Structure 1
Amino acid sequence: MTPHRFPLTVYYEDTDMAGVVYYANYLRYIERARSEIVEQCGLDQVAMRSEGLVFVVTRVEADYISPARMADRLEVVTTHRAASPVRWTFDQEVQRGGQVLFRAHVVAVTMTTAGKPVRLPAEIRAMNT
C-alpha cells in the first residue's frame, strides 16, 4: 500500500521551554494524519458518531528519535491496513526532509459510543482484499 503523506509546520505553540516540539504533540500530529486517511476512505466521523460509532486507539508504541523545532516543515508518513475485521493498524513516522524524528505503531478499533467493539467499516476492511 502506498504511504499516506501529511505535511505540517511546527508553530511556537507546539514547542516546550527548550524550543523543541513537546513530546505529546507528536501524538496530535499522527492523529491528524489518521483523520485525513479516514476522510480519504470516504468515511465521515461526525456521521459515524451520530450513528453511535467511533474510532478508539487501543495501543500506541512510540520512539522519539530526534527533536523537531519551531518553523520546521514536517511530514507524517503513514502506512495502514486493516489487520483484521476489527483492528486497524498504522505505522507512522514524523519526518523532516526524509529524516525520521518520531516513529509510532498504532492500533485502532471501532466501538459503539456505549463502549462495545464492532467490526471496522467495510471501506476499511476492503483495504485487505
Structure 2
Amino acid sequence: MPREHEFDLPVRYYETDGQGVVHHSNYLRYMELARIELLNATGYDYAKIEEAGILLVVAKATVRYKSPARYGDVLRIWLRTERAFGARIDHTYVIKVGERIVAEAETTIACIDREGRVQRLPRELEIDE
C-alpha cells in the first residue's frame, strides 16, 4: 500500500455554517474520504474489504484547526500512512487551501471483525517502519 496520497476537493455549500465557514465536523468526513481515496488509488475496494469481514474503525482522531475554509474554496487533502501493522493504522493529514494550512490531523484506525473483536490487518495493508 502506498504511504501517501493527495487530492483536491471543492467545499460544497452544505458543508458550511451560517458564517459560510466549513463546519468543524466535516473535517472528519474529509479524512474518511482521504482514507477511501488512498485505498482506491491502490486498487483496493473498501466495500470488498468489509464483505470479507474486515472492518476498519476510527479508534482515535485529533484535529487542529488552523484557519477557516469557505464555500468555493478548493481543499488540497494530503494523507500519509505512518504505520499499518498488527491491528492498527496511524495516519497524518494536512488540509490546505492553496498554500494556507486549514487543518492538521491524526487518526488511529483499528481493525476488527463483525463482532467487534480486534484482528490483525490483512498483510497487503501492512506498512511497518
> Do both share a fold (TM > 0.5)?
yes
Deviation larger for 43-52 or 26-35:
43-52
**Over the residues paired in the alignment, what is the CA RMSD in angstroms?**
1.6
State the distance in 1 between where 2:94 and 2:17 align: 21
State the distance in 2 between where 1:2 and 1:124 align: 10
State the distance in 2 between where 1:80 and 1:2 align: 5
Which residue pairs with 1:18 in the alignment?
19
How much does 1:40 deviate? 2.7
CA contact (8 A) 2:3 2:82 kept: no
CA contact (8 A) 1:41 1:124 kept: no
Pair 122,83 (structure 1): closer, same or farther in 2 beyond 3 Å: closer
- The 4+ residue runs of structure 1 with deviation greater than 6 A are none
CA contact (8 A) 1:45 1:54 kept: no
1:35-114 matches, cutoff 5 A? 35-114=36-115
State the distance in 2 between where 1:47 and 1:114 align: 18
CA contact (8 A) 2:84 2:125 kept: no
Aligned length: 128
Pair 2,123 (structure 1): closer, same or farther in 2 beyond 3 Å: closer
Equivalent AA in structure 1 for residue 29 of structure 2:
R
Pair 3,98 (structure 1): closer, same or farther in 2 beyond 3 Å: farther
Which residue pairs with 1:128 in the alignment?
128
CA contact (8 A) 1:81 1:89 kept: yes
State the distance in 2 between where 1:19 and 1:75 align: 19
CA offsets, 1:15-67, max 9 Å, x none? 00011001101111111011111223332221222221111010001111100
Deviation larger for 1-10 or 56-65:
1-10
